[in-house]
Chains A and B, each alone.
Chain A
Amino acid sequence: MHKSFTQTWKGAVLAALGLTLLGGASAQAQQINGAGATFPAPLYLKWFQEYKNATGVQVNYQAIGSGGGIKNITAHAVDFGASDAPMNAAEMAAAPGILHIPTVAGAVVVAYNIPGVGPGIHLTPTIIADIFLGKVTKWNDPQITRLSPGTKFPSTSIFPVHRSDGSGTTNIYTTYLSEVSSEWGGSDGPKSGKSVRWPNGLGGKGNAGVAQLIKQNEGGIGYIELSYAVTNVISYAAIRNAKGKFIYPSVDNTSDAAEGVTLPADFRKVITNTSAVNGYPITGFTFLLVYKNGTRPEVKKLLEWCLTTGQAGAAAQQYAPLPPSVKRRALAAVASMR
């Protein structure tokens, strides 16, 4: 009696295992894995939720930073990577056959937490660079107060916040600072990249980490994607663009900045400091990284969905949909995948 009970129990366990494996195997076929930038993560997560409702395909996205996305797709550990920083020559060499597919454009806002001060203070590129270089240390510095007459600034210290992990958002921001500040982009300065040598400040992990540090520290200032600032109700500044207008970032002026730009054939360019009259100067495209050959057909269908149906929902999440010319070329690139 005892022996037959053990036998039946063993049989039941084996059967259950077998069924789970079968079920798991079929679920695998319907699952797509991606990893990368935190910059577009709020939008992607919303997209993938809608995609699952529409097609039943589950897309797992891990927001680990652009650097992590590039590293994972190079190692073929995921089906697609995501990065706001286009891969440089060394990274391209390590991942032959990789394609950059732009999905949306986003704005990197300069968010701050100044006690008693509301949103929309005016800042110029040189002031921002000086703040992050540590040359301007108090909020009531005359260089800042004279840009926003009518706003009373307290004597709080400025605490710059940056990214501690490898980030495409950092890449966009530091590319902009290198263009507008000769000290930043000079041989002794931090220059630009996914990870730079910040002179001071605190480091937070991911866009979410930086947003949290800004919110928690009085006097904090940092750079985050527009979506994070809006969701977390953090004030952000109007920046003077190349044409001299103070632009308060929004989806519309991000689109303006994205429109006038000519992208190269492989889309690898950071589009900061636009010359559009009403364009917001700190903008960038964000890319999905896939291999031209050998990517699963489900991924190709997902990309097509993102570039067509998905674009409609971008504005609601504070991202600018692709300009028509870029969208056409992106769809052509996806079509070329085998």
Chain B
Amino acid sequence: MADRAPSVPLITAASPTAPSPAQSVSKSTPKPSSIPPASSLARFGDKIYGAVIFLASLSIFGIILWLFWQLTGASLPSIRHFGLSFVTGSEWDEVSSSYHVLPYIFGTLFSSAIALLLAVPVSIGAAIFLSELAPRWIRTPATFLIELLAAIPSVVYGLWGIFILIPFMKQFIVTPIVGSRLPHLPIIGELFKGQSAGYSMLAAGMILAIMVTPFITAVTRDILRAIPRSQREGSYALGATKWETISQVVIPYAKSGIIGAVILGLGRALGETMAVTMLIGNQPPNTPNGISLSVFQPGYTLASALANKFSEASPGLSTSALVEVGLVLFGVTIVVNGAARLLVFYTAKDVQGGK
């Protein structure tokens, strides 16, 4: 509603489109009545458009449900045969048709945990550097390089891991630690027990860490940049140093967003197949229940097991058990993501203005 000059007569809603002589004096006034109302044809087109877009968004939900339905249907023979022992038992034996996946579930979670433990400090540090501390001329090239890491195919990471990371690890990490007192310490020693051929949880965890770093860094950097400058300026005005501003104002403000970024990285780590298969040893550790806290022991993840065994699955219980492995991976991903989302929700409520 523009301000009208007092000399112009009031315009009523029923005015015709032709301007009255008095109105033509001041052409700058807007004439809402001159815009024709939407024809019924245009409105109908809008409705169709709305329906199509709604169906498109519903289809995503529909595909997930359909996927879940298919997975459950194909794994019913295995579910009926093994029940809950499928996820609590430890032995996977094709010869005696006994299928249990606890070591695989542990492998998936443990390798992702190692990956996050290594990646999160590095990623958040990189994001803070890029958004707060870096000189302007370095920001764009550095961002570009980090995002380039995300574009590298995972099989290339696997090859790099086999030929470069594993020999490096064996020479500079495994051999010194295994020969030192570390494996003999009471609690921490459990993490470093046993001889290692290099193909281990640690190798897979390190590669996963490199693969999820660009995702966490990119999202965290965007979140940090979106924080209003007034927050930082207020902090500096109160006399805080750069470090105090970052650690006590910027990071808490962005806390829920950073957790969201970490969830994104976690999602990638849980499902990663190729690079992990090439580096993790494809064998559950030699303990009674197939679980070992040692990062030097080989392991097996749900995704690797599927990749290795599916092409040779014989029809019947074997295939059904493998589809159930897929269902379990589906379930693990949903549970972990759901728990993380709840965490984001609760931390967002604490912080004023958090996302």
Is A60 an interface position by the 8 A CB rule?
no
Evaluate whether A165 and B311 lie within 8 angstroms (CB atoms) in the complex, with A134-B286, A193-B94, A202-B281 already known. yes
* Residue among B92, B166, B283, B298 facing the most chain A CB atoms (10 A cut-off): B283
Is B309 an interface position by the 8 A CB rule?
yes
Which residue numbers of A lie inside 8 Å of B, CB to CB? 64-68, 70-71, 74, 90-91, 94, 134, 157, 159, 162, 164-167, 190-205, 212-213, 216-217, 219-220
Find out whether the CB atom of B309 lies under 8 angstroms from the CB atom of A65. Answer: no
**Could you say which interface size class chain B belongs to?**
20 to 34
User: With the chains together, A65 CA to B307 CA distance in Å?
Assistant: 13
Find out whether the CB atom of A196 lies under 8 angstroms from the CB atom of B311. Answer: no
Q: What residue of chain A has the Cβ atom nearest to residue B282's Cβ? A: A203
Binary interface profile of B, 160-190, with partner A (CB < 8 Å = 1, else 0)? 0010001100000000000000000000000
Q: How far is the CB of B301 from chain A (nearest CB, A)?
A: 12
Q: How far is the CB of B341 from chain A (nearest CB, A)?
A: 34
Residues in B whose Cβ lies below 8 Å from that of A164: 277, 282-283, 308
Find out whether the CB atom of A90 lies under 8 angstroms from the CB atom of B93. Answer: no
Residues in B whose Cβ lies below 8 Å from that of A194: 94, 312
Partner of A157, one of B195, B199, B313: B195
* Residue among A162, A201, A219 facing the most chain B CB atoms (10 A cut-off): A201
Q: What residue of chain A has the Cβ atom nearest to residue B283's Cβ? A: A203
Partner of B311, one of A65, A74, A220: A65
Is B231 an interface position by the 8 A CB rule?
no
Which B248-282 residues have a C-beta within 8 angstroms of A?
277, 281-282
User: With the chains together, A70 CA to B314 CA distance in Å?
Assistant: 9
User: With the chains together, A159 CA to B283 CA distance in Å?
Assistant: 12
Q: What residue of chain B has the Cβ atom nearest to residue A205's Cβ? A: B308
Find out whether the CB atom of A68 lies under 8 angstroms from the CB atom of B94. Answer: no
Binary interface profile of B, 17-28, with partner A (CB < 8 Å = 1, else 0)? 000000000000
Is B37 an interface position by the 8 A CB rule?
no
Evaluate whether A202 and B282 lie within 8 angstroms (CB atoms) in the complex, with A197-B92, A197-B93 already known. yes
Q: What are 7 A-B contacts with C-beta separation under 8 Å?
A: A70-B314, A90-B314, A159-B195, A190-B95, A193-B95, A195-B94, A203-B283
Evaluate whether A217 and B94 lie within 8 angstroms (CB atoms) in the complex, with A71-B314, A164-B282, A200-B286 already known. no
User: With the chains together, A197 CA to B311 CA distance in Å?
Assistant: 18
Is B214 an interface position by the 8 A CB rule?
no
- Going nearest first, the 4 A-B pairs with the smallest beta carbon separation are A67-B312, A166-B312, A203-B282, A164-B282
Binary interface profile of B, 305-332, with partner A (CB < 8 Å = 1, else 0)? 0001101111110000000000000000
Partner of A205, one of B166, B277, B316: B277
User: With the chains together, A134 CA to B286 CA distance in Å?
Assistant: 9
Residues in B whose Cβ lies below 8 Å from that of A167: 312
Q: How far is the CB of B278 from chain A (nearest CB, A)?
A: 8
Residues in B whose Cβ lies below 8 Å from that of A195: 94-95, 309, 312
Q: What residue of chain B has the Cβ atom nearest to residue A62's Cβ? A: B311
Q: How far is the CB of A240 from chain B (nearest CB, A)?
A: 26
Find out whether the CB atom of A166 lies under 8 angstroms from the CB atom of B286. Answer: no
Evaluate whether A216 and B162 lie within 8 angstroms (CB atoms) in the complex, with A134-B286, A164-B308, A205-B277 already known. yes
Find out whether the CB atom of A197 lies under 8 angstroms from the CB atom of B91. Answer: yes
Residues in B whose Cβ lies below 8 Å from that of A65: 311-312
Is B205 an interface position by the 8 A CB rule?
no
Evaluate whether A203 and B308 lie within 8 angstroms (CB atoms) in the complex, with A94-B315, A159-B197 already known. yes
Residues in A whose Cβ lies below 8 Å from that of B277: 164, 205
Evaluate whether A217 and B283 lie within 8 angstroms (CB atoms) in the complex, with A90-B314, A196-B93 already known. no
Partner of B199, one of A162, A197, A202: A202
Is B198 an interface position by the 8 A CB rule?
yes
Residues in A whose Cβ lies below 8 Å from that of B298: 202
Q: How far is the CB of A66 from chain B (nearest CB, A)?
A: 7
Residues in A whose Cβ lies below 8 Å from that of B96: 191
Evaluate whether A165 and B309 lie within 8 angstroms (CB atoms) in the complex, with A67-B314, A91-B314, A217-B198 already known. yes
Residues in A whose Cβ lies below 8 Å from that of B199: 202, 213
Q: What residue of chain A has the Cβ atom nearest to residue B167's Cβ? A: A216
Residues in B whose Cβ lies below 8 Å from that of A203: 281-283, 308
User: With the chains together, A198 CA to B162 CA distance in Å?
Assistant: 23
User: With the chains together, A320 CA to B268 CA distance in Å?
Assistant: 47
User: With the chains together, A190 CA to B94 CA distance in Å?
Assistant: 10
Q: How far is the CB of A221 from chain B (nearest CB, A)?
A: 11
Partner of B283, one of A67, A74, A200: A200
User: With the chains together, A195 CA to B282 CA distance in Å?
Assistant: 13
Q: What residue of chain B has the Cβ atom nearest to residue A69's Cβ? A: B312
Residues in A whose Cβ lies below 8 Å from that of B197: 159, 202, 213, 217, 219-220
